[in-house]
């Protein structure tokens, strides 16, 4: 029996006052670390919010480990964790109480929840603060509490929107280590980031969205090849930053003509 894709998006569209996501098709395999990049307003967060069930698509389909997010939203949610850029936690709960609440929502068995809570609090260095209310916590601490909430129910897919923004070097390193370890254990991670170095070092595959379309996708090596071949820069060794700037500029230039996603896609 074949294992379903961790995430399969087909012909996804979402429009506010202007189109935010246009005919987006994307597949992510189980156990993959995928970075979704794009300039501000490109449609990254909108896409991920639709995957997490926070926004309803205008058209198209999203499937998380075989669960359609519209037809079987609970099935999809059961295996997914969403970590927004601005950690949303309860000021008047302690981290431990927050984890108890999240575990309750995902109906994690008591013993497993207790054990996992202890582990994630330790890993994220939150154990000394486990009984303090979150109201005085720094941005980094709040982000770690939110991440702990995402890990407590051991999801198969973790979606993170700009998880490293505003974190100090130590906290950022910790979060990256935790995510890499989860991927090693078989979890699928999708993150958006403006820190291209993070995508370059951590992601197995990278997708670039511009003007709501997927304009480029592949491993770093594939992107370099595709970019070198297309832009004729003598390519092959361009940094992700250079590739990113080129594909985004190309997309803006070709907007209204042939969709850039088809031409820039790595083989």
Partner 1 sequence: MITASSFAWFARHELRLSWRDLYAMLSANRPGRGRRILIAAATILATLHLLAWAALKQATDHGIAADLPTLVMVSGFLLLPISLMASQAMESITRAFYTRSDLELILASPAPARKLFAVRMLAIAIATSGLTLIVSAPAIDVLAVTVGPRFLLAYPVILAFGLFAAATAILFTMGMFVLIGPARTRLFAQIAAAIVGAGFVIGVQLLAIASIGSISRFEFLRSDYLLSVAPAIDHWIYLPARGAMGDAASALSVLVFSLVLFAATLLATAGQYAGIVLKAGSIDIDPGRRRHTKVSFAPRSPAAMLRGKEWKLLLRDKWLMSQTLMQLLYLIPPAFMLWHSFGAGNTMMIVAVPVIVMAAGQLAGGLAWLAISGEDAPELVTTAPVSPGQVLRAKVEAVLSAVAIVVAPLLIATAFASPVAALIGAAGACAAVLSSTLIQLWFRSQAKRSNFRRRQTSSRIATLAEAFSSILWAGATGLWVAGSFVALAVAFAVLTGLAITWAISPARIDFAARRALRHRPAPA
Give the range of 65-73, 119-127, 165-173, 191-199 binding partner 1 by CB under 8 A: 65-73
Task: Pick the stretch among 14-22, 128-136, 180-188, 245-253 that binds partner 1 (CB under 8 A).
Answer: 128-136
Q: Is 43 in the site for partner 1 (CB under 8 A)?
A: no
Question: Is residue 107 a contact residue for partner 1 (CB under 8 A)?
Answer: yes
Contact 114, 148 (CB under 8 A): no
Q: Per CB under 8 A, which region of 82-90, 192-200, 209-217, 239-247 contacts partner 1?
A: 82-90
For residue 214, what is the enclosing H or E element?
Answer: strand 213-218
263 forms part of the interface with partner 1 (CB under 8 A): no
Pick the binder of partner 1 from 4, 30, 66, 75 (CB under 8 A).
75
Q: Could you give the angle at the alpha carbon of 56 between the alpha carbons of 54 and 61, nearest 5°?
A: 110
The yes or no reply on residue 131 touching partner 1 (CB under 8 A) is: yes
Report the candidate in 188, 196, 159, 176 with the shortest Cα–Cα distance to residue 85.
Answer: 159
Backbone angles phi, psi at 207, to 5 degrees: -120, 145
Question: Which of residues 4, 19, 97, 156 is near partner 1 by CB under 8 A?
Answer: 97
Quick one: which segment of 14-22, 98-106, 207-215, 249-257 binds partner 1 (CB under 8 A)? Answer: 98-106
Q: Binding residue for partner 1 (CB under 8 A) from 135, 177, 184, 197?
A: 135
**DSSP H/E element including 217:** strand 213-218
Q: State which of residues 7, 8, 64, 89 lies at the interface with partner 1 (CB under 8 A).
A: 89
Rounded distance between C-alpha atoms, residue 266 and residue 222, angstroms:
6
Cα–Cα distance, 120 to 128 (Å, whole number): 12
d(CA 114, CA 108): 9
**Any contact of residue 106 with partner 1 (CB under 8 A)?**
yes
Kindly write down the DSSP assignment for every residue of 98-125, as one continuous string.
Answer: HHHHHHHHTT--HHHHHHHHHHHHHHTT
User: Is residue 127 a contact residue for partner 1 (CB under 8 A)?
Assistant: no
Question: Pairing state of beta strands 157-161 and 80-83?
Answer: parallel
Q: Which residue stretch of 36-44, 79-87, 162-170, 173-181 sits at the interface with partner 1 (rule: CB under 8 A)?
A: 79-87
Per CB under 8 A, residues contacting partner 1 are 10-11, 52-54, 56-57, 59-61, 70-71, 73-75, 77-78, 80-82, 84, 88-94, 96-97, 99-110, 113-114, 117, 129, 131-137, 149
């Amino acid at each position: 029996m074949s294992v379903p894709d961790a995430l399969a998006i087909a012909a996804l569209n979402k429009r506010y006052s202007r189109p935010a996501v246009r005919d987006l098709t994307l597949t992510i395999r189980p156990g993959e670390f995928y970075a979704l990049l794009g300039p501000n307003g490109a449609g990254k967060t909108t896409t991920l919010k639709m995957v997490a069930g926070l926004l309803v698509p205008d058209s198209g389909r999203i499937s998380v480990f075989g669960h359609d997010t519209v037809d079987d939203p609970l099935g999809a949610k059961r295996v997914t964790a969403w970590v927004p850029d601005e950690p949303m936690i309860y000021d008047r709960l302690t981290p431990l109480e927050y984890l108890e609440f999240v575990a309750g929502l995902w109906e994690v068995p008591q013993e497993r929840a207790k054990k996992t809570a202890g582990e994630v609090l330790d890993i994220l260095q939150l154990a000394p603060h486990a009984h303090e209310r979150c109201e005085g916590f720094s941005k980094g601490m709040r982000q770690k509490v939110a991440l702990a909430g995402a890990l407590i129910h051991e999801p198969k897919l973790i979606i993170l929107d700009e998880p490293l923004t505003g974190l100090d070097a130590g906290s950022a390193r910790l979060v990256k280590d935790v995510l890499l370890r989860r991927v090693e254990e078989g979890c699928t991670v999708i993150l958006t980031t403006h820190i291209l170095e993070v995508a370059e070092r951590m992601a197995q595959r990278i997708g670039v969205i511009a003007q709501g379309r997927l304009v480029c996708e592949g491993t770093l090596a594939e992107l370099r090849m595709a970019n070198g071949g297309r832009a004729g820069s003598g390519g092959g060794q361009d940094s992700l930053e250079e590739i990113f700037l080129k594909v985004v500029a190309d997309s803006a230039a070709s907007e209204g003509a042939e969709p850039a996603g088809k031409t820039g896609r790595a083989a």
